Chain A
């Protein structure tokens, strides 16, 4: 069971907006630690999508956005495209476990 909780799956039609939640606790997100998001396409390594809660690395489309509030964070994908079909993971730091921790991942399906 992951320290950071994500929904197992979300889906949407092309062009729609989907959001993925990442719920933590007072020892990680709620303690003020940043949340980062990764996209993992089938058979590939995770790729950094969002860092520092809401910052996009160069080359990441602005269709992807991140936010954080309290003990949770969210990743939004607007204008959903077929190429967005992948697994998405949130990641933060937990001061009780003293390690970086990941969510279990959310599979995004484009209908």
Chain B
């Protein structure tokens, strides 16, 4: 079955860019949507955005100005970039397969990113 694994730096300085990659194994990325979701103690679970395997993306309006999600079909990976980060971007970041309009399944194990100088 499909499995997802996040990777990237666990510490990012304020005002810099957070970059994470999600590697998809056990299946093809074709004909699916792929999302990033983050979790904080204060705001809970927050959908960041998704990318379709063809490359079209959709973002949470609250984050759209700072976020880019891209896909590398040759590597079976998709990536997240969050620009101009602040402490409020400190969170556990999950990648997940997305039905597009409904639920998320499965999820990666998550990776903690701390924004601090």
Name the contact of A46 in the complex, choosing from B45, B46, B60, B61 (C-beta under 8 A). Answer: B45
Query: At the interface, yes or no: A52 with Cβ under 8 Å from chain B?
Result: yes
- Residue total for B at the interface (Cβ-Cβ under 8 A): 18
Name the contact of A47 in the complex, choosing from B44, B47, B107 (C-beta under 8 A). Answer: B107
Name the contact of A48 in the complex, choosing from B106, B108, B110 (C-beta under 8 A). Answer: B106
CB distance from B43 to the nearest CB of A (A): 9
Q: Tell me the B60-117 residues at the A interface (CB within 8 Å).
A: 60-62, 94, 101-110
Q: Chain A, interface size: which category?
A: 20 to 34
A-B contact pairs, 27 of them (CB 8 A): A2-B44, A34-B102, A36-B103, A44-B109, A45-B108, A45-B110, A46-B94, A47-B105, A47-B107, A48-B104, A48-B105, A48-B106, A51-B102, A51-B103, A52-B102, A89-B44, A89-B45, A91-B103, A91-B104, A93-B102, A97-B61, A98-B61, A99-B60, A99-B62, A102-B45, A104-B44, A105-B45
- The chain A residues found within 8 Å of chain B, CB to CB, are 2, 34, 36, 38, 44-48, 51-52, 57, 89, 91, 93, 97-105
